Structure 1
Amino acid sequence: MTAAAPKLYRAIIDTLQEEITSGKYRPGERLPPERELVERFDVSRLTLREAMIGMEIMGLVEARRGSGVYVTERPGATVSPSDLDIGAFELTEARRLVEGEAAALAAVTADPADVAELREILDQMIAENERELHDEVADRDFHLRIAQATRNAAIVLLMKTLWDVRHRSPLCEKMLERSRRSGVKPRIDDHRAIVDAIAAADAHGARKAMRDHLGRVIDNLLAATEMDGIERVRAEAAELRERAGRFAAI
C-alpha cells in the first residue's frame, strides 16, 4: 500500500523548521509576509495559516499582533508536526460538504417534532451568546440534531466524529480558541435560516443555508488568524497618528 502524502501544512512546517535550525531565520527575526510564503509554497492562505499556528504550538514562532510572525528566542519543539492532527480550516471544509447534504436530507425527512426541537436549541444558543458562554454546547447540539433528523445512523456517527475532532486536535483547538478570543460567536441568523429551510421541506435551501453558514465560519477563521494584513496596517496608521500628534505639539 502506498503511504499517504504528508499534509501540506506539515510540509511547510518541516521546511521552515529546517531553515530556522540552519540559521536562515534567526531568533527574533520576522518570517516573510504571508503573501510571499503563499507564493513560495504554492498553497492557499488557509493552509499557510494552519502551518503558522502549528509552528506556534511547537514553540518555533510567535505571532505578534499587527506585526507578523517571529522566530522564538529559544525554539524547542515539545510537539511534532505529526501530533498536530487536523486544522480548523480542513475540518470546516469537510463539515461544509457533509453537513450541507445532511441538512438537505433532513429537509425531506424531518417531522414537526424535529423542527420544534431545533428551534428550542436555537433559543439556547441565543441565551449562551447573551451570557458570553464559549463552550458551544447548544451549537453542537443543533448540528447533531439535524443529523438525527436524517434518520441515518451513519450520518449521525460521522457528524459526531467531525465535532469531536474539534477538541481532540491541538491545531484545531488552537485555531478555534483564537477565533473565540476575537469575539466570534455562533451566528443566530445563519442557524435560523437553516431551520426555516428544513421546516419548509426545502432541501436546496437547507443545503445552501448550511454551506453558506460554514463558509462564513471559514471567513471568520481567516479574519481571526490574520498574520500581517489589516492589523499591521492599523498598527502602522496608529503609529503615524501618534507621531503626527507629537509633531503638532512642538
Structure 2
Amino acid sequence: MAERLYREIGESIKQEISKSNLKVGDKLPTERVYAELFGVSRTLVREAFIMLEIEELIEVKKGSGSYLKNNLSLQSSKKVSDVGPFELLQARQELESSISSCAAKVITKQDLQRLQDIIEIESAELESVDKANSADRDFHLLIAQSTQNTVLLDVATRLWDMRDGNPMWKKLHSRIQDTSYHDQWLEDHKKVLLQLRKRNAEGARQAMWQHLENVKQTLFILSDTDAPDFDGYLFAQRTS
C-alpha cells in the first residue's frame, strides 16, 4: 500500500528538524513555511503536524504555534496509520454530493419527514457536541439510505465509521474550542433538505457539496495554531 501523503510530509518535516538542530522547547516554522518548502497544500501539512503531535514529537499551543516536545531519538513509538481528516472530508464531499443527487430522484415523503425530525433534534442539541455530532451522522446516512441503494449506503457508512474511529480526526477536534460552527452546519442541512423536497437533483448535489466545503473551511480555520501568522491561505474554492 502506498504511503499516505501526510506521512511522507511528516517524515520530511522530521528530516528538516534534524537538519536545523532544533532543541526541545524550540518553536517550529509555521505550516505555511513547510507548505512552501515542500510545494504542497497547508491542509496536507496540517495533517502531518497532527501526526507528529500524536507521535508526541511536537506540542501545539493554540494561537502560538508548534514546539518540539521530544528529541527525534526519544519520540514516542506511537504510530498513526489512519486517513487524514481533510483527505477524508474531500472523499466525503465527492461521494456524498453525488449521493444527495441520487436521493433527490427517489426520496420518499417518509424519509423527508425523518430528515426534518433530525434537523429539529440538531436544533435542540446544538450545545451538546456529542448529540449534535450523532444527529449530524444520522442526517447524512439517512440521505444515503433514501437512495434505496445499499451499496451507496454501505460506502457512506464506511466513510463515517472511518471518521468516528480516527485518532487524527479526534486530535483535530481537540484543538477546537468554539462550537458555534454547528449553527452554520444546521443551516446547511436545511438547504440540503429544501433541495431534496424540491426533487432537485442538481440543487441537492450543489447544496451537499457546499456544506462539506464549509465543513472543511471551518475546521481548517478553527484548528489553526499559528493564529498570529495566519494568512488566510485555505482551500481553492469550488462551487461544482
What TM-score do the two structures reach when normalised by structure 1? 0.84
Q: Judge which range, 170-179 or 185-194, deviates more.
A: 170-179
Residue identity matched to 2:204: A
Letter of the 1:216 partner, please give it: N
DSSP-derived class of the 2:182 partner: coil
| Residue identity opposite 2:138 in structure 1 | D
The equivalent of 1:246 in structure 2 is none
Pair 1:182–1:110, CA change in 2 (3 A): same
- Aligned partner of 1:30 in structure 2 is 27
1:88 aligned partner: 85
Q: How many residues align?
A: 225
1:35-114 mapped onto 2 (5 Å cutoff): 35-73=32-70, 75-80=74-79, 83-114=80-111
> Does structure 2 retain, via aligned residues, the 8 Å contact 1:84–1:171?
no
Give the alignment partner of residue 10 of structure 2, picking from 9, 13, 20: 13
Q: Is 2:231 aligned against 1:232?
A: no
Structure 1: state its 5+ residue gaps. Answer: 235-250
Q: Quick check: 1:152 aligned with 2:149?
A: yes
Q: What is the CA RMSD across the aligned residues, in angstroms?
A: 1.8
Give the equivalent residue in structure 1 for 2:236: none
With normalisation by structure 2, the TM-score equals: 0.87
Cα drift, residue 23 of structure 1 = 6.4
Distance between the aligned counterparts of 1:71 and 1:77, measured in 2? Answer: 13
Q: Identity of paired residues, percent?
A: 34
Gaps of 5+ in 2: 231-240
1:115 aligned to 2:125? Answer: no
Distance of aligned partners of 1:227 and 1:133 in 2 relative to their CA distance in 1, 3 Å threshold: closer
Point out 4+ residue stretches in structure 1 off by more than 6 angstroms.
none
- Distance between the aligned counterparts of 1:160 and 1:177, measured in 2? 23
Whether contact under 8 Å (1:84, 1:170) holds in the other structure is no
Question: Which has more radius of gyration?
Answer: 1
CA distance in 2: counterparts of 1:132 and 1:193, whole angstroms: 22
Give yes or no for contact 1:107–1:206 (8 Å, CA) kept in 2.
yes
